[in-house]
Amino acid sequence: MAGPLTVPWMPPHDPGTPALSVVDMHTGGEPLRIVLAGCPEVVGPTLLAKRRYMRQHLDHVRRRLMFEPRGHRDMYGAVLVPSELPDAHLGVLFLNNEGYSSMCGHAVLALGRFALDFGLVPAPPSDAQEALVNIHCPCGLVAAFVECEGGRSRGPVRFHSVPAFVLATDFLVDVPGRGKVVVDIAYGGAFYAFVSAEKLGLDVCSAKMGDLVAAASAVTEAVKAQFKINHPDSEDLAFLYGTILTDGKDTYNEEPTTNICVFADEQVDRSPTGSGVTARIALQYHKGLLELNQTRAFKSSATGSVFTGKAVREAKCGDFKAVIVEVSGQAHYTGYSTGQ
């Protein structure tokens, strides 16, 4: 009988193309591909400058990681970079099928576990039950709190958002082929349009995914054409990321409320969407439908996974009244790979 098979750490490959090492995770079913090694240096004095540099000079890395044959059109990624903020443990650039987002809650939940387990933050005391990980996202500094035992992550993660606010309520948008639709626009690190799926003739819990995607995309394009997005801190943040279709159950209830997020280039979030939950909490608080520290559960119509969220305190973003939102969810490791 032949002896055990011995193979090199990596098959023959083109030495002119750097190998990329990644760790794959998911939060609520939504994937996250974290680059460990192989990405060229991302240049820039600030995180937003690094985001612009990567878009202009290193977009081939995003395409290699996100698209087939290594990924798929709904893959999501994270490149870790140094931060200019003294309180940040790490900086991150988020990758999707269209480009580079300003915030990603499901990724922050996963990166909290990753940063603790891979030694990117000081080891907590052995008896600590939670570890703090400060993550500098393009939208700003986000604090993640990771449940731990013996210095290792063990379960749910929660984060405190950047100030989340409402940009517009009851905005009437003319959606081609669907008529005039009333939407709300809110910010949770990224801007989303919110509309009850029922207003588009759909049930967010039972409609075909293709129909939900088509409806949400039509709303996104209509809002982009008819409403000027602005952010008081930076023009880099002033863009509509996508549309979130809801079940219309915005008044507080102990039962989960269901939504589906369609963002970037018709990319579907398998999770309830961390930045979307943040923005939706801000919207409900703004409308007087939710009180501070009143926890709501949000369910993804794609997978049934659940995040919880609550507004923990009031804040300001420029002249906007805002809230800091806490979002909680469970992240999991799914694999490690190295290749071209």
DSSP 105-165: HHHHHHHHHHHHHTTSSPPPPTT-SEEEEEEEETTEEEEEEEEEETTEEEEEEEEEPSPEE
The CA–CA distances, whole Å, from 203 to 29, 187, 213 equal 21, 24, 12
Residues 220 and 212: their CA atoms lie apart, in Å, by: 12
pTM of the model: 0.95
**Which of the following is catalytic: 39, 104, 139, 317?**
104
Gyration radius of the chain over CA positions: 20
On the 0-12 / 13-18 / 19+ scale of CB atoms within 10 A, 242 is: buried
Q: What is the 3-state secondary structure (H, E, C) of 261-316?
A: EEECCCEECCCCCHHHHHHHHHHHHHCCCCCCCCCEEEEECCCCCEEEEEEEEEEE
Q: Are 136 and 189 in contact (CB under 8 A)?
A: no
pLDDT at 41: 96
* Cα angle 324-196-312, degrees, rounded to a multiple of 5: 15
* Cα angle 51-54-57, degrees, rounded to a multiple of 5: 145
pLDDT at 318: 97
**Do the bridges between strand 77-81 and strand 90-95 make them parallel or antiparallel, or are there none, so unpaired?**
antiparallel
Residues with Cβ within 8 Å of 313's Cβ and at least 6 positions away in sequence, in order, are 292, 323, 324
Residues 336 and 78: their CA atoms lie apart, in Å, by: 14
Q: Are 290 and 296 in contact (CB under 8 A)?
A: yes
* Cα angle 319-323-329, degrees, rounded to a multiple of 5: 145
pLDDT at 7: 46
Residues with Cβ within 8 Å of 11's Cβ and at least 6 positions away in sequence, in order, are none
104 a catalytic residue: yes
pLDDT at 13: 67
Low-confidence ranges of the chain (pLDDT < 50): 1-2, 7
Residues 136 and 305: their CA atoms lie apart, in Å, by: 26
Residues 281 and 329: their CA atoms lie apart, in Å, by: 15
For the stretch 18-33, pLDDT in tens is: 789 999 999 999 999 9
Alpha carbon dihedral 257, 187, 169, 321, in 10-degree steps, equals 110
